[in-house]
Amino acid sequence: DLIQISDWSNTEGAALTARMEEDQPRLRQYDSWCRRVDELLVTEAWKKQKEIAAREGVVAIAYERKYGEYSRIYQMAKLMLWTSGAGLYSCPIAMTDGCARVLELNGTQEMKDTVYTRLISRDPKQFITSGQWMTERPGGSDVGRTETQAVWDENRKCWSISGFKWFSSATDADVTMLLARTHDPNPSAAPGSMRDGSKGLSLYLANVRDEEGKLNGVRIHRLKDKVGTKALPTAELELDGMIAQQVGDNYRGVKNISAILNITRVYCGMGCTAAMQRFILGVKEYARRREVFGALLKDQPLHLATVANMELQYRATSQFTFYCIAMLGRIESLDNNLPQVKDQDIPLLRLLTPILKVWSAKNAFAMSQEAMECFGGQGYMEETGLGRAMRDVLVNTIWEGTTNVLSLDVLRVMAETGGDALDLFAESVRGILASLKDQHHWSKSAMSLEACLGLISHHFTTYATLETRNLLEASARGLTFAMAEVISGALLCQHAAWSTVKAQANPSNSVIASEATVDRISAQRWCEGLEKKLSFQIESLGSETRYDEDKLMLFGLADARTSHTATVQAPIASKL
């Protein structure tokens, strides 16, 4: 199945993607009689992708659970191969998957019968996709500033939603999930009574169109002119009386939507890993063929060192991504009252998904730039596709939370758990390393990772006070990246140790022996000097004088000039 989808991606999928890029979404707001129609026009290639996604079961695999807790691993492995031919259709698929999970957990029986079953269908005639409309003009990640409101309509026995969604991906979806500020439906409550902040939000499910095919209280103001992801229809939407059903209880919107965030962040990790895989494969193949200054690129030391670092980053990102995927699979398939799931997997995945999303996105974009350089001037040519790939992968650093927003989310998780999340993280890393410490090949790497754990713990516990909050926040990026690099290092070592055992069991297989050697080199190289690197990464951003110095460097001079100008002009103004 994986071989088949890979072949499809490189043939039919590549052709569909090219047509989607050539014929990008358009908006026809009015018909020939000046009637507002808001017709979203997408190419037939985009529509074909929906049919293929259903047929291949790219959502269904996760919910059929044919392979139990390993179903997610199978699904995401297939998605990694499918995305290279799916263009940007992986975006609506991610949100469809997230919507399915939320309805599985919190939907009514009617929602499960009429919507959930179609979100996970393999029948192209039954399969539907979901949007995720959260971002509003006052704030993207700051959902507590949501202005969209939901009012209970007693006559129609539904919620009526009105507001403005500033950035709605997959605008052509069949259904959508969205947050809205809920008017208290209690008849005794004052009219328009609402709660402030995120505590006033509830989660809603709505059909994008009614039974006649007309938009359900939606006006498409315009399509967004984005830097990349241009084949994906993204729009500004005005909602005016959109009919919707509430998912879960009143005022539990942020909690109920967390299942979507877990899944979409894992999708981000998977998509970034897939992009890195395509970049590194292309770069390596080019190095085999391109001759410069009398030698192939693959034989030139500096180029070799550059590409080896790219390969190492890809391997680490891949390990971390599938570690989170395996955890998601256990949570969805096993009894959530089991100690491993309840006490470890669920809280650990909550901590790791923002870390994975941040780190994988940064890695993928950095690699896109390196890959372009590796192709030289040809890499800068639009027809190679590297420019589009770079623009498209960039969205991952912003979608579902920027690097800073999610780094602060990591601190929030630690604070909310009183540091238990950090302890759990350390225990998990030590658990991965437990069988390696006594092995000669891995003792040095294990010691390095243990020292890094101590460094992270020391910094967090030292500055986790009200008086030093600024210092902790300033180093949030460094801490987040450090945690990613430590757990990835542990996973690389674990995989290499397993690979070595496999090679010993197959002494006559030279391919397996080579794999074991490469895996060992990769893991050991990753751990070399990691403590020193992370120390600088964390400490340099959180030094006690840094916060005040940063403010002075960025704004102090301009503020001084403004103050000086006002002082000079004041006497002049008084004489006039």
Task: Please give the chain's pLDDT, 576 residues, in tens.
Answer: 999 999 999 999 999 999 999 999 999 999 999 999 999 999 999 999 999 999 999 999 999 999 999 999 999 999 999 999 998 999 999 999 999 999 999 999 999 999 999 999 999 999 999 999 988 888 777 888 889 999 999 889 999 999 999 989 889 999 999 999 999 888 777 778 888 898 999 999 999 999 999 999 999 999 999 999 999 999 999 999 999 999 999 999 999 988 888 999 999 999 999 999 999 999 999 999 999 999 999 999 999 999 999 999 999 999 999 999 999 999 999 999 999 899 999 999 999 999 999 999 999 999 999 999 999 999 999 999 999 999 999 999 998 889 999 999 999 999 889 889 999 999 999 999 988 877 888 889 999 999 999 999 988 888 777 777 888 888 899 999 999 999 999 999 999 999 999 999 999 999 999 999 999 999 999 999 899 889 888 776 656 677 788 888 999 888 888 888 877 777 776 666
Judge contact between 152 and 243, C-beta under 8 A.
no
Judge contact between 270 and 324, C-beta under 8 A.
no
Judge contact between 38 and 219, C-beta under 8 A.
yes
Q: Scanning the structure block, which residue is given the tokens 């096993």?
A: 334
Alpha helices by DSSP H, listed for 290-345, are 301-333, 339
* Residues near 202 by beta carbon (within 8 Å), at least 6 away in sequence: 150, 179, 180, 182, 246, 247, 248, 249, 250, 251, 252, 253
Q: In the numeric block, which tokens belong to residue 518?
A: 């490469």
Q: What is the pLDDT of residues 513-560, one digit of tens each?
A: 999 999 999 999 999 989 988 988 877 665 667 778 888 899 988 888
Q: In the numeric block, which tokens belong to residue 12?
A: 């039919």
Helix, strand, coil % in the chain, rounded to nearest 5: 65, 15, 25
Supply the angle between the helices 258-289 and 346-374 in degrees, to the nearest 10: 30
Phi, psi of 228 (to 5 degrees): -140, -160
- What was the pLDDT predicted at 544? 67
Judge contact between 103 and 245, C-beta under 8 A.
no
| Cα dihedral 372→373→376→380 (10° resolution) | 40
Q: In the numeric block, which tokens belong to residue 44?
A: 């037939």
Q: Which residues of 408-420 are buried (b: 16+ CB within 10 A; e: fewer)?
A: bbbbebbeeeeee
Phi, psi of 368 (to 5 degrees): -60, -40
